[in-house]
Amino acid sequence: MTDRRLNRPWPGVLLLLLGLLLPPLVGAWSWPDDEPGRTGLVLSCRNELVEHQLVGPQRDNFYMIADFLLQGERASINYRYFQADGVPVGTISMRGSVLSADHQENVYALSLSESRVVVEDERRELPQHMAHLKSFSQRNLAEKGVHNLTLRLLHRDAEHDYAIVFFLPSTAVCGCSLIDNGA
């Protein structure tokens, strides 16, 4: 008596086809962030904030640390505000996507669709930068659903992990620590 399964060529043919087709498919697939030309950029910018309306010793002193993480198509920004003595004032965190990345010109257009504001002490007046960014971004999110921002690296010093960055729409220029993971 012969086994009918031995007379069926289909399982062997299917295994052969899978063996021939699967390696090229698996080889062509990669994690999105491993693709050449994909955005991978981390900036950390520390800035002293000068309050325009106050001058002399009465002037409030604040500083801000802004961390930018661009990875693949994702973008996140954390603005952290502090008094001069290091006491936290508040944080603005935004998330969204990288609309475009021109690696040759070092220009990155961001579309931020989420924003979260944390104020440490509601009784204290916010630094002007924080108050303006909070108001401007919340208005854009309410009216347009996004807050757009463009970064342009004017100078990039990979040896010293440093970049000079121009920001739009604020037109600020800042020196930032740079971690560039493949962009």
Residue 173 lies in a domain: yes
Residue 33 lies in a domain: no
Residue 10 lies in a domain: no
pTM of the model: 0.74
- At residue 165, the pLDDT reads 94
Domain count, the chain: 1
CA dist 3 and 64 (Å) reads 78
Judge if the upstream peptide bond of residue 88 is cis by omega within 30 degrees of 0: no
Residue 57 lies in a domain: yes
Residue 35 lies in a domain: no
- At residue 18, the pLDDT reads 47
- At residue 164, the pLDDT reads 94
CA dist 160 and 45 (Å) reads 15
CA 114, distance to chain mean position in Å, is 12
Residue 100 lies in a domain: yes
Positions of E strands within the chain: 40-50, 61-71, 74-83, 88-102, 107-119, 147-157, 162-168, 173-180
Give every residue of the chain whose pLDDT is below 70, as ranges: 1-37, 50-60, 180-183
Tell me phi and psi for residue 46, to 5 degrees.
-115, 125
Residue 74 lies in a domain: yes
pLDDT tens figures, 34-52 = 454 578 899 999 888 766 6
pLDDT tens figures, 139-168 = 999 999 999 999 999 999 989 999 999 998
On whether the CB atoms of residues 80 and 44 are closer than 8 A, the answer is: no
CA 118, distance to chain mean position in Å, is 19
Count of Cβ atoms closer than 10 Å to residue 11 Cβ: 9
